[in-house]
Amino acid sequence: MPAPAAPKAPVRPKRPASSKTALPKTVGADELPGLLDALLLPRAVEERMLKLIRQGRVSKWFSGLGQEAIAVGCAWALEPQDYLLPMHRNLGVWTTRGLPLRRLLCQLMGRTGGYTKGRDRTFHFGLPEKRIVGMISHLGAMWPVACGLGLASTLKAASPADSGEPFVACALLGEGATREGDFHEALSLAAIWKLPVIFVVENNGYGLSTPTREAVPVENIADAASGYGIAGEIVDGNDVLAVVDAVRRARKHALAGDGPTLLEMKTFRMRGHEEASGTKYVPQALFDEWGPKDPVTRFLKLCLDRKLVTDDEVAEKRKALDEAVYQDTEYALAQPEVSSTAEAEAADVFAPSPDISEPSDVGSTTDKRFLDGVTDALREAMDADARVVLMGQDIAGYGGVFKITEGFLDRFGADRVRNTPIMESGVLGAAMGLALEGFRPVVEMQYADFITCGFNQIVNNLGTTHYRWGAPLNVTIRAPFGGTIGAGPFHSQAMEAWFVHAPGLKVVVPATPADAKGLLLAAMDDPNPVLVFEHKALYRGLKGPIPDASHRVPLGKARIAREGRDLTLVTYGIGVLWAEEEAAHWAAQGREIEIVDLRTLKPWDRETCLASVAKTNRLVVLHEAWRTGGVGAEVTAELCEAAFEHLDAPPVRLGALDTPIAFSKDIEMPVFSAKARLRDAVARTLAF
């Protein structure tokens, strides 16, 4: 069957052909013996694991028994350079890609010798050398990552400097997870950019205990393809040859530049969602219907009919596999459970960052606006490295709502300055895929308030990956944030504390034009996900000297914005301007306030803050964000624990009123804002 042509109109999904003895044109007869072995291995592991569950020797297992044809078929159909993004029941992906079974079993059982040092279970990990990117439990999240991998393939294919073979990304998902927003965002992004991605939906009829008919309002999920103008097809997921054929045709279609394909593979789950859930909620009639369609039985019959093997040879194969799997599982069970230390765990949260020393003399400077510092940093990084790719809403021809990237489209081209649809989660997931392929994506949140739509990708995907399986992710997220401009509740929020609370993320807030450039350049150099919160009121409201030469400000290093002896005022962002105004007021009365600009909130510079408190013996911590649960609470608590003996007055933390931000500036500034309470707080603290 020829590769499907690029659709010019919505494509109706194809129906699977009836089972025939003749092989699909994409599958050679010489492949059948190897394909049989590839099917039998995960079945042998499945059967062994079910025995261990019944014996109480294994606590949890997500069985793919009866669905092996999908995982094995997808892995068999693809080339070694292609990516696979599997799910819980896709053991056959890992075995077909040739992972050493003992090490894989140690991973699945949480024993020493696995892949994630005991930090994640089952298939929640990636293996770059096998081009596998495992799942996270938040279903649907990996489909946008596949888009990023597909975009990396497209960009590399267009680069004269890249001589690698083109590749596709094949992402699997259960039918229940197709109701998640990431499913639709990924399809939209892949369709718009014609990405070489194969989306595979394993429709086994149930999302845990909920029948598909109660969750999906159409019979065929592949119908979604027509809504995005991409190729779609329904595949008999229990026929491994049909799976191989469909995936190979989709791969050819993708690499021809014709875009993604959505493959819905009809199958059935013969076991529970996981073994503890059982199957009592599934009618017996469904087992009776699907039992005879078992993929291993069907393929064995084909091989026997073609006289590729005999019954005796099959029996010998199975006996040998059962014995090998028995020995491997016993080996894994004999290994100790994984143990560690607090130091070792903390050391792996972040990938090692470049060593940056802030120069004492930055050379010549030019007075520019805060936003010019951001623009300069982006331009410099893009000039220096073609792997820097910008993505965001309206950032190309329009230059972004704040005009940060104005002129970038003409200078760097549409491949590297990419307008995206309104989809925060999809684009952040795509950034992860790009980073896995060595790119340095920078994602602009049009307003930081909208970052909530991408919270899962940031906190659960980007933030955990290095700790779980060691992959560095050079992803920079720019987030224009903050109030004082009368923009109302949804364009004024300061939510940096949410991300400071999450491990694996670095959080940066510049307060000067020079730091707007230096911190952003350092963030783009860092092999970890970094959120850079840029205050909107400072973009055009603050001007100052910016070094003409390239400069970087080390992440995690505070600065003394003003020397003082009577009180330490720790703050960041626009709080630095408020602090400077306050310090000028008290200086006229002979009292000197020392201002510590944190600059980086995660990790933050405890040493500089402690040294300042030891000198002044008084502490006020100020930020624009809500007071309850804010960064100030953490800073104050930490400094009190470490420097209690130095304090001559109770420490004070100031933040905004715990209400949404009013549109009226006459409410925001005198009632909501922490700035209105700063004078009184400093006076009370100095009075001790």
Q: What is the CATH number of the domain that holds 484?
A: 3.40.50.970
List, for residues 471-504, the tens digit of each pLDDT value. Answer: 999 999 999 999 998 898 999 999 999 999 999 9
Tell me what pLDDT residue 13 has: 46
> Is the same domain home to 81 and 185?
yes
Shortest CA distance to 249 belongs to which of 288, 201, 211, 198?
198
Domain end (from 513, 547, 581): 547
Strands, E assignment, 322-397: 365-369, 388-392
Q: What is the CATH number of the domain that holds 595?
A: 3.40.50.920
> Is the same domain home to 165 and 305?
yes
Rounded Cα–Cα distance for residues 519 and 555 (Å): 7
List, for residues 100-143, the tens digit of each pLDDT value. Answer: 999 999 999 999 999 999 998 788 999 999 999 999 999 999 99
Lowest mean pLDDT among 270-284, 366-380, 403-417: 270-284
Tell me what pLDDT residue 40 has: 98
List, for residues 359-371, the tens digit of each pLDDT value. Answer: 778 899 999 999 9
Shortest CA distance to 154 belongs to which of 474, 461, 418, 422?
418
> Is the same domain home to 627 and 650?
yes
- Tell me, yes or no, whether 361 lies in a domain: no
> Is the same domain home to 611 and 657?
yes
Tell me what pLDDT residue 215 has: 87
Domain end (from 491, 525, 547): 547
**Number of residues in the chain:** 688
**pLDDT band, residue 191 (cuts 50/70/90):** very high
> Is the same domain home to 668 and 530?
no
- Tell me, yes or no, whether 214 lies in a domain: yes
Is pLDDT of 6 > 60? no
**pLDDT band, residue 561 (cuts 50/70/90):** very high
> Is the same domain home to 283 and 260?
yes
> Is the same domain home to 59 and 206?
yes
Amino acid at 537: A
- Tell me, yes or no, whether 359 lies in a domain: no
Tell me what pLDDT residue 278 has: 84
Domain enclosing residue 518, as ranges: 368-547
- Tell me, yes or no, whether 342 lies in a domain: no
> Is the same domain home to 158 and 300?
yes
Strands, E assignment, 241-386: 261-266, 365-369
- Tell me, yes or no, whether 325 lies in a domain: yes
Domain end (from 288, 311, 335): 335
Rounded Cα–Cα distance for residues 480 and 494 (Å): 9
**pLDDT band, residue 607 (cuts 50/70/90):** very high
Q: How many domains does the chain have?
A: 3
Is pLDDT of 450 > 60? yes
List, for residues 564-576, the tens digit of each pLDDT value. Answer: 999 999 999 999 9
Tell me what pLDDT residue 208 has: 85
- Tell me, yes or no, whether 83 lies in a domain: yes
Tell me what pLDDT residue 221 has: 95
Model pTM score: 0.94
Q: Quickly tell me which residue has 């009639």 as its tokens.
A: 285
Mean pLDDT of 399-404: 96
Is pLDDT of 670 > 80? yes
Q: Could you give the residue numbers annotated as active site?
A: 491
> Is the same domain home to 536 and 585?
no
Rounded Cα–Cα distance for residues 517 and 375 (Å): 8
Rounded Cα–Cα distance for residues 103 and 84 (Å): 19
Q: Quickly tell me which residue has 């309850």 as its tokens.
A: 628
> Is the same domain home to 328 and 271?
yes
Tell me what pLDDT residue 1 has: 40
- Tell me, yes or no, whether 50 lies in a domain: yes
**pLDDT band, residue 469 (cuts 50/70/90):** very high
> Is the same domain home to 309 and 405?
no
- Tell me, yes or no, whether 25 lies in a domain: no
> Is the same domain home to 579 and 479?
no
